[in-house]
Structure 1
Amino acid sequence: MKFKFLKPIIGAFILLFTISCKVEPESIVYGEDQCSFCRMNIVDKTHAAQFVTKKGKQFKFDAIECLVNDLSEKNEANLSLILVANYGNPGEMIDAKTAMYLISSAIKSPMGANLSAVENSEKINELQQQYSGKTYTWVSLKKHFSNN
C-alpha cells in the first residue's frame, strides 16, 4: 500500500529532473545581459552570440569575436550549442558551425573586429558584394583569430 503513494511522487520527481536538464539557449535580454568575455552590456542584435554547455550552462556575448576568443580557451566537445546572431535578420540566432562570416570595415561590430555572420554562402556573397571584405567559415574564422 505504501508504494501506491510513492509512484506518483517518484514519477513527478523524474519528470521535473528531465525538464530541468533541457539544454537549449535562453533568449538574450538586450540592454541587460552582460558579455561573458568582456563584461559589456549586450545591446547589438546583429552581432551577439552565445553557447550552451552540455550541462545547460549559458554563456552570452556582445560580439562574435568575444565568443571566438572565449572558445579558444575551451573544449568545443563540452558544448551543446554555439550560436551567433544572423546579421540579415537581427535577433535571430543561427548555428555558428554552419554560418558564414564576413569581416568588413563597412560593418562595425561592438568590439571592433567588424565581424558579422549569416546563415549560408548565398547570403554571405550578397553581404560581401554590398560591403566588401573577407569571408570565412567557422573553422577558418577560428584559425584567423588564433593567428592574431
Structure 2
Amino acid sequence: MSTPLTIGALSKQSGVNVETIRFYERSGLLPAPQRTPSGYRSYRAEDVRRLRFIRRGRELGFSLEEIRELLELAAHPQQPCASADRMVREHLDAIETRIRDLQNLQQELRKLGNCPSAEAEHCRLLEALDERHCCQHPDD
C-alpha cells in the first residue's frame, strides 16, 4: 500500500491547487478522503490519477458535468465510447465556431487599428464604440 498523501502533496503531484481539490470534493468529482485521527485529509495515489484526469479534461474545455460523465465511462471500460465521441464532436464544433468568431473580431480590429487621425475626435475605435461615422476613412 502506498503512503497516504496530505492535501499539499496531492496538490503538488496532481498540479491542482488546494482550493480546487476541496471544490472537487464538495462537488463529488473527487471522493471524500479518509481522515487521520487528528482530522487531516489523507489521499491515495488513485486520487492523484483522478485529479490529473479532471485537470486534463478541464484543459480540453470539458465542463465539470461532462468530466463527471467521462469519469463514469472510464470506471466502466467495457462500455461503448459513443458518448465520449459525441462530446469531442460537440467541443470541436464549438471551437471551430469560436475560431470563426475570433477571426471576424480580428478583421474588425484590423480595420479600427492604425488610425491616421491625430485627434481622438476622429479615432476609428471611438467612432465604432460610439456608433458614429463622422469621418470617411480612405481604406474603409
TM range (shorter): under 0.3
Name the TM-score, length of structure 2 as normaliser. Answer: 0.24
Name the TM-score, length of structure 1 as normaliser. Answer: 0.23
Higher helix share: 2
Q: Which has the larger radius of gyration?
A: 2
Higher strand share: 1
Select the structure with the greater relative contact order (CA < 8 A; seq sep ≥ 6). 1
